[in-house]
Structure 1
């Protein structure tokens, strides 16, 4: 027995070990379970108490043992073959990264994962459009893990953070113009070789600023954006005149308020 306590794996070399020998070995190292034929329920529980990794040596483990293993750490899903969806959901409640152990995760699992950790989307091979949109709404950088993010997800990312354009800088011109309609500050992060023409910029601004429901932030960002001045030669007065000529009543009111605030 002393030898087993010193080296629990020595159990595998003992012919016909007693139940107490097996339990002693398992108390020292639960992974010894691999070398025990037909372990009793008590042995399984002792092994799991020592290390949840012992779950890998319990084929067709009952629900209570699966829960016990995952409760200790979501990473123990790695030792469970074909974990059921309910168990993966349990693991996801600890970390969204647990989604990596789901072979074909349902949209419900995908959503739960990215709500827990937005970057868990890196472990989802084919995230649904809804999941992509939700991840983009949490943090635009989630889209860097998707080969071809949906257009909706791209637009949400752009709306929330203009720096998202860095992920889509190679997009076509029309899509780029759409992004500028959503968030004019996208222009701050465009490399010089991707800047839209002055005519295209005017077209975007006319269409957006003329809207009765133009977002207040959009108008203020346009007025305050220095890159339009430095790269397109617009003076602050040019901006005011542009809004006066093409802007909706709402856009004009916001512009006046913004200029008064600046002064």
Structure 2
């Protein structure tokens, strides 16, 4: 009975352990699935970050091209400014010559004045464009620096994402290994649970059989106790068992005076 009780307690504890192992196995499998999903997401993030780094590199190249174009435009503006300056000088000389010509050069003087005004406006416009280009070049330089720093940061992010992806890959592999081990342990605990349940049932059957045997033994003892043996009969039996065996009579030799006679085997007198 004690063995059956202890076996039942052990079976109950092992059943609880098996349930806890199943829950732990489910949690480990869920962790494994999460780790695999995070690993895939990190791989996509790494690919997107790498693509972003490539786009930033292209943007840096485009900003460099814009900076070079601005330098070329600045050169062209310098040429335009020089042409306007030369045109202004020519218009000034033409005005001087028209003044010397008198009335005959009045019309030419008007044309020279207009050309001079146009040249001045071209020079002013070129100066404004030059100022705008200078500001644009400064902004482009700042943009190039910022884009370059962004590209550097993206490269660092790509490297960090790669390292994190490797760590998550190792975690996923370890989680998968742990999941496989937990499944094996869960299977082993399940088998132990089944065997313990069977042992508990067997011990319970054995205990029941022992109780039945004890009951039958008690019944047998009760039935045997009904047989009554008297004390005198017991003493007689004991005496009968301890009575010595009867002695045979001693045969007396036959004599006649001093002469011994031959014993006759057919003599029945002693009988």
Larger Rg: 2
Report if TM-score (shorter chain) is over 0.5. no
TM-score by length of 2: 0.12
Greater share of helix: 2
TM-score by length of 1: 0.12
